[in-house]
Structure formats: structure tokens, C-alpha cells
Chain A
Amino acid sequence: MSTKIRIISYQEAISEALYQSMQNDKNVFVIGLGVADYKGIFGTTTDIYKKFGDKRVIEVPASENALTGICAGAALKGKKPIIVHARNDFMFLTLDQMFNIASKWKYTCAGKSKVPFVIRAVIGKGWGQGPTHSQSIQSIFMHFPGLYVFMPSNAYDAKAAIITSLKQDCPCVIFEHRRLYDAIGDVPNNMYTMDIGKARIVRKGKDLTVIATSIMVKEAIKAAKCLEKKGISIEIIDPRTLVPLDEETIIRSVKKTGRVIIADTGWVRCGVTAEIAAVISEKAIGYMKAPVKRVGLPECPAPVTSAYEDQYYPSYKDIFVQTCKMLGKKIDKDILCTKEVDDFIGPY
């Protein structure tokens, strides 16, 4: 069968990856709160539920920590569970099983046993979802050895992340972004994988490198278009997986441009941006023409009021402004398309 490339959404790409993976391997099952309900995790589990039914698309009680251990147990016996959390914030309840059990299993068994499973966790943003429904908790998962961390920023990677993570020996966490579900892109119809630990150079440039994760890649592309009008060319790198991290691609780009902005959906302290900045300072400090700049959330939980929404979430504007500053260029705000209507109203 020849491969066809279609333009489909991030949400459709996830749905397709689940469908094909389940068809391909009878050990794969999908489990979590809401996976079998009629909304089907923003539509991503609707098709598999129709096709495979409730034996393989399994609704569960609210018991996230136990569920994580239960899936480790099932994985021990050869199953390939995919756990879904409609918000990544719910994973705080799972951390004991994640970090004390699952991520250490293979190591403590000296490689003789393994518990690989996949977690899909959704990052929320805005519409007053507030302090416990719009966090971005990926950096914690980077800290503990024994887990791979995926952050797909587009439809192609969203599909690849699921198929690829099902082939690993360790638990894998995939952070999907709620606001990317409608983002469309080229997606092949076959079951393709990605090289883990291989970043994508989203856009080539010479003046400055922007390393961006998840939805910040989209923001960086927008910023690049605005900066182009000022004759500034930025290179955008999407690491795609945070663990393993493609240090080589990052360092090569930084050595070329000498300037770097790192943009992530989480807080900066001890965050993804901190880790990447540390790698750069260890391996490319001599090439830097300016200090690293990090773009992330301000130091407070997500407030509900819409008055703070713009101020709270980093956007292309921050990347634009920081780039101009770093290059000593005038910040002409008129280049930023000002009128943007955010009509997101859920479902949350």
C-alpha cells in the first residue's frame, strides 16, 4: 500500500494513531477517566471506542495513582496500556507510582523485567480554567531517569509520538496541548515512527535561535513572520522529545547564531527552559554573543480572571520583543498584529 499524505488535525492524528496501534497489536488498550464517554477526550477516543468497544477502551473510577500501578502491572504481563488524563494536572496524583515504581522498574530488575506503558496528558490553557487545570508539568517528568517525555507541537508529531512510545522499554509521557487540537498539518496515513531524541529544525535562520516546545513552536513561527518584516531571521528548533533531549542540534544552532531564546509552556524556574539553558552553558558558552533569555509563565499559579490572561500566558509577542532586545533593534509594536480574537470557549 502506498503512503498517502493528508492534511488532518492534531486531534485526528492522535485518534488515527490510537486506532492503527490497536489494530496492529491486540495488547494495546486505552484506559482513563472519560475515554469511553460520548465526548471521548476531545474526540480522540471516539473512533477507537466505536471500533474496539469497552474491553479495550476502558472507563475507570477516579483513582489515578492506583491506575498507574495497575497499568504497570498489566505491562509486566505484556499488555501495552495507554493511560489518558484529560488534564496533565491530574498526574500529580500518580507521581508515587510513576517515580517510585514505574520509572525505576527496569533498572532495579537489572533489565530482566520492564513495565512500558504510555501516558497521554493534556495541557490546558485559558478560559479561566485556573490554577489546577492549566498547569504544564512536563519538567518534573524530565527530572527522573527512566521515562521518555514527548511534547508534540503539530499533527505529524502527535501521531508519531503515540506509535513511537508504544515501542519503548520504559514508560513514556506524551504532553498534548489542548489548544493544538485543531491545528492541521501533513500526516501520512501509514504507521510511521519518529527518532526519539531528534529535534526538528522548524525554520532555518541566522540571527538568533528560538528553542520552543509544544504550542510555543506555533508562537515562535508567528514571531518569526513578524521579525522577517524587520529583516531579522530566526532559527526555530522544536526538541519534540524532552527526554532524550537532542543536545547536538541545539548546540549546533546556538554555535551558529550565538543568541538564544528558550520558550516553554511551564514556569521557568527548574523548568524545561532551565535545563536547556544549562546544557547550552555547559557546551556552547564560548559561542554566545548574549545571555540566554527564557520565556515561560510568570511566577504565580494560573489566575482565573480574564484580566490576567494575556499577561499570564507567553506568546509570540514575548518572543518578538525579546528578540528585538537581544539584537538591539527597535521594538516596533505595530508589526505585531494587534487584533486577535480568542474565541475558545471549551469544551475544556
Chain B
Amino acid sequence: MKLTDKKKKDLLYKTLRIRIIEEMIADIYPQREIRTPVHFSIGQEAVSVGVCENLTANDLVFASHRSHGAYIAKGGDIKAMFAELFGKVTGACKGIAGSAHLSCPQKNMYSAPILGSLIPVAVGSAYAAKMDGKKDIAVSFCGDSAIEEGVFAESINFSLLKKIPVLFVCENNFFSSHTPLYLRQPDTEIFKRIKGMGIEAIRIDGNDVLEVYQKLKSIIFKIRKEQKPFFVECLTYRFKEHVGPSLDLDNPYRSEKELKKWLKKCPVKRLSNLLIEKKIIKDIELTQMISKIKKEVTDAISFAKRSPWPKNKEMLNNVY
């Protein structure tokens, strides 16, 4: 399948948008108005965009603590996102969820930070769609560490047994907090081991938006049509520290050399360079894209800042 230039530009815009939103959060984070731990998606944007671009509004998406990429890619409102981070009542979940539980129920997007906790929920939501004869699928985004939890194995078995249309997207960024993959798993070829469980599984370059988009297009088509689960390992890398807005290079768990190697594969740079090289976009267009997104984010930040706090008496709402 050949992508149109328009689609390529669109994918660049969407990837760039996540990048800029995240960078602008990182910029203001030290001001301490965002008082909640944030796990930045910077470096991993291509996975969220490439997958979610193939989904319908009714498809469900479940993310982890590193939730922003999926929220934005599934169409979550940016003003509501910033207001949520600021803890304001206009937030996507009225300030209750913050970053690690950032969710947008209207867009069928949810997240939660206990490792692996939403994997079975994704399976169950796709199971229900199947029961109702609908064609909706569910996507479970999980880290390379989340799949170490027992619930992952249970979920794979169940989804195979019941032929559930669920897509497991493992964002392999090679770390669990500060512990590298080779200290946690017997080999680093996750997809091969998972294949051994009986599920179709492949590995792709998670830093190439075009590849993620195209490969996932056919996989998602297949999941919908054949009603069965699929596992995709996306190789990627986070540029920031595990949690928080800084780079964490003055420590033993990763080197500047390694980061530099991955910065060369930056998903945003790769696509923008390609499109410029092939004369699909002009420099000026790229500059325009950037300023358009920056304006959108600046507006969202000021919206969040001027939004009211939730009222004291509302704290106990929605418990039951």
C-alpha cells in the first residue's frame, strides 16, 4: 500500500504535536504548578500515532503510566489534558486522575499506572464487543516491564482461547524505571518468546511512524476480520528520565552514547527529514506546523491556569 503525501504530512503533524505538547509540559514542569508525577512520551510518539491512526472512534485504547502519547493520538482534548495536569475542574477527569490515570472516556481511552493492570481490561472490553457481534477492537499498550506481570500471560491465554480481537502493543524502550531489559528477561527478543505462547507476534521499528502505521494497518484489519489477538513489539526509546522532565545521564544505567544513538533515530526528525528530502513538505510548512501547535498548547496552558479548582465538597462525589 502506498501512502499519499497528504497522509505522510498528516502523520508528521500528529507525531510532532505529541512531541511539542510534551516538551512544553517539560518546560513548565519546574514551575510546580503541575503537581503530579509525569512519565513523558518523548521519543516514543511514533507508536501511539501509528497505532491509533488505524483505529475507529469506538475502538478502545488502554495505556499505562506513560499515557500522554496514547491520550493525544486517540483524540483526547488538549485543553482538558492540561487542565487535568494542573488539577483543575475543567480537566479530562476533573483533576482527579492527573497524568498517570489520564483518561478520556468519550474517546474510549483509559490509563492506569499499576503495571499490567489494564491488560485484562482491554481483553474484556474486546470480548464484550465480540459478544455483541460488533467489529470494535481493543488495544493494550504496555511497556516491556508490564508484560512480566502474571496477568499478561493469563490475558494472552484467555484471548487466544476465546478468539478475542485485541491488539497487544508492547512499547519496548529497554527499561523498567532504571533497570535494563537484560537484567529482567532471559533474552531481549520479546516477540519470539511471546510467539511461543501461541499468539501471532512480530517486532517492528517503533521509531518509524510510516512503518508503524502501515504494518499496523494490515494487522488491525486482520484482528477485526479474523477475530483473534495479535502481539506487536515496537522497538523504541524514551529520551527523558523515567519520571519527570529532565535528562538522566549522570547515572550508571544508561550512557550518553546510547541516548545519542537513539536520538539519531528520533521519530519526529526521521519523518520530517524524509519529507523535506523528498520535497513532500517545505521548511516553511514545517515551521508553520510548529507554530500552530505551539499556539494550541499555549492556549491550553492558559486555559488550564485560569480554570477553577474543583470545589471542596465535590471530593466525595462519584465514589459509588
Contacts and interface: CB of A to CB of B under 8 A. Distances in A.
A82 to B, nearest CB: 18
Given A38-B251, A308-B315, A59 B179 contact: yes
Given A39-B178, A89-B114, A128-B37, A300 B316 contact: yes
B252 interface: yes
A2 interface: no
Contact of A34 (B88, B149, B177, B243): B177
B178 to A, nearest CB: 4
Contacts of A59: 179, 183-184
A127 interface: yes
A303 B91 CA distance: 13
Interface stretch (B97-105, B156-164, B198-206, B280-288): B97-105
B242 to A, nearest CB: 9
Contact of A303 (B96, B115, B150): B96
B50 interface: no
Interface in A42-96: 59-66, 89-90, 92-93
B35 A306 contact: yes
Nearest to A38: B251
A205 interface: no
A304 B117 CA distance: 19
A306 B36 CA distance: 9
B95 A304 contact: yes
Interface stretch (A110-118, A129-137, A235-243): A129-137
Contacts of A127: 35-37
A346 B145 contact: no
B14 to A, nearest CB: 27
Which size bracket describes the interface of B in this complex? 35 or more
A140 B206 CA distance: 42
B165 interface: no
Interface in B94-129: 94-101, 112-117
Contacts of B183: 36, 59
Contact of B178 (A34, A92, A129, A130): A34
Contacts of A311: 312, 315
Nearest to B320: A299
A287 interface: no
A348 B37 contact: yes
A55 to B, nearest CB: 13
A348 B315 contact: no
Given A37-B179, A346-B244, A304 B101 contact: yes
Contacts of A298: 315-316
Contacts of A128: 35-37, 87, 98-99
Interface in A322-348: 345-348
Contact of A61 (B35, B185, B312): B185
Contacts of B32: 345
Interface residues of A, number: 41
A199 to B, nearest CB: 33
B319 interface: yes
B179 A63 contact: no
B146 interface: yes
A301 B93 CA distance: 14
Nearest to B97: A304
B58 interface: no
B310 A130 contact: no
A345 B37 CA distance: 9
A264 B213 CA distance: 51
Contacts of B37: 127-129, 133, 346, 348
B145 A61 contact: yes
Interface in B32-70: 32, 35-37
Contacts of B5: none
A244 to B, nearest CB: 31
B148 interface: yes
Given A127-B35, A303-B96, 4 more contacts: A37-B253, A131-B96, A301-B319, A307-B95
11 contacts: A62-B148, A127-B37, A129-B36, A132-B100, A133-B37, A303-B315, A304-B87, A304-B101, A305-B87, A305-B310, A311-B312
Interface of B: 32, 35-37, 87-88, 91, 94-101, 112-117, 145-146, 148-150, 176-179, 183-185, 243-244, 251-253, 309-310, 312, 315-316, 319
Interface of A: 33-34, 36-39, 59-66, 89-90, 92-93, 127-133, 298-301, 303-308, 311-312, 345-348
Closest 9 CB pairs of A and B: A128-B36, A304-B98, A305-B87, A305-B95, A61-B148, A37-B178, A307-B309, A61-B184, A62-B148
